[in-house]
Amino acid sequence: MKLNRVAIIGVGLIGASFGLALKERGLADEIYGFGRNEDNLKKAKARGIIDAYSTDITKVCDSADLVVLATPVGVFVEIAREISPFLKKGSIVIDVGSVKGRLVYELESIMPEGVHYVGTHPIAGSDKSGIEYARPDLFKDARCIITPTEKTDPESLSFILELWKDFGCNVELIDPMKHDEVYGAVSHLPHIIAYCLVNTIGQIDSEYIRYAGQGFKDTTRIALSSPELWRDIVVYNRDNLLKLLEVFEKNIEELKRLLEEASSEEIKELFTKAQELRRRLK
């Protein structure tokens, strides 16, 4: 399943780790990179993550067998439209974004005849970003969600599924819309809450942050994630998030009521219920 040429659009943590994973397994003859920061691309080349780069995205994608969209999701559609005329027949385009849903169908519709798009989401991110944190085993034992539609090319789907398996991923196929319902709940909502929790401390007294212990650090670690990246994710998945926030607000209101009533046993029951559900996560 060796590839002649791979184009990585966005050589950050995920894009760079994808390149390193390809390199370690000898799955690509050439890896080309594109990004907004030429200094970052130079570092990626020096580290051996990519073989060459260009600040002209069309040159990077020209003749590529596989194109990997690893930028913030907010520019996926713009990039797809820009590179579309330069993609060769038989090539595959994938993304590694945390949002799928309607974005999958939009990207799919942009692909020219003979070019196949497959939506993928490796659950292997970090609050750390940049090529300095990239590593070839980032995807080992990670879950990778693939989101085919009725129009997905079966051979391309099979190829991408095996590629992620080669990287050590536990691969699962999920409907694109269902993906956003699930990850809105277990990923996007927690990020929003973490950002809001830190901002709440700031609004009370920003000096309080100096006294935070490990519990606060653990709870809010994901608030260190890229604001640009997460802005795009939450905007794209806003419909699911608005529904989820309603449920979260009801839980906050219930806790407020119990505190006002000093209902210690009911508060304990509420906390115990959460504890038992959390224990199911391994």
SS (H, E, C) 58-85: HHHHCCCCEEEECCCHHHHHHHHHHHHH
Tell me if residue 161 falls in helix, strand or coil.
Answer: helix
Contacts of 180 (CB under 8 A, 6+ apart): 99, 100, 101, 237, 240
Q: What is the pLDDT of residue 129?
A: 74
Q: Which of 175, 195, 230 is the last residue of a domain?
A: 175
257 and 153 within one domain: no
pLDDT band at 149 (very low <50, low <70, confident <90, very high): very high
Report which of 88, 86, 85 is spatially closest to residue 65, judged by C-alpha positions.
88
264 and 201 within one domain: yes
Rounded Cα distance between 62 and 15, Å, is 18
Residue type (1 letter), 121: H
Here the CATH number for the domain that contains residue 134 is 3.40.50.720
Residue type (1 letter), 122: P
151 and 18 within one domain: yes
- pLDDT tens for 13-70 read 999 999 999 999 999 999 999 998 899 999 999 999 999 999 999 999 999 999 999 9
182 and 231 within one domain: yes
Q: What is the pLDDT of residue 127?
A: 67
Range of 125's domain? 3-175
Q: Which of 175, 203, 232 is the last residue of a domain?
A: 175
Q: Which of 175, 191, 225 is the last residue of a domain?
A: 175
204 and 64 within one domain: no
- pLDDT tens for 202-222 read 999 999 999 999 999 999 999
164 and 106 within one domain: yes
Torsion angle of C-alpha atoms 93, 96, 101, 103, degrees rounded to 10? -50
For the entire predicted model, the pTM comes to 0.93
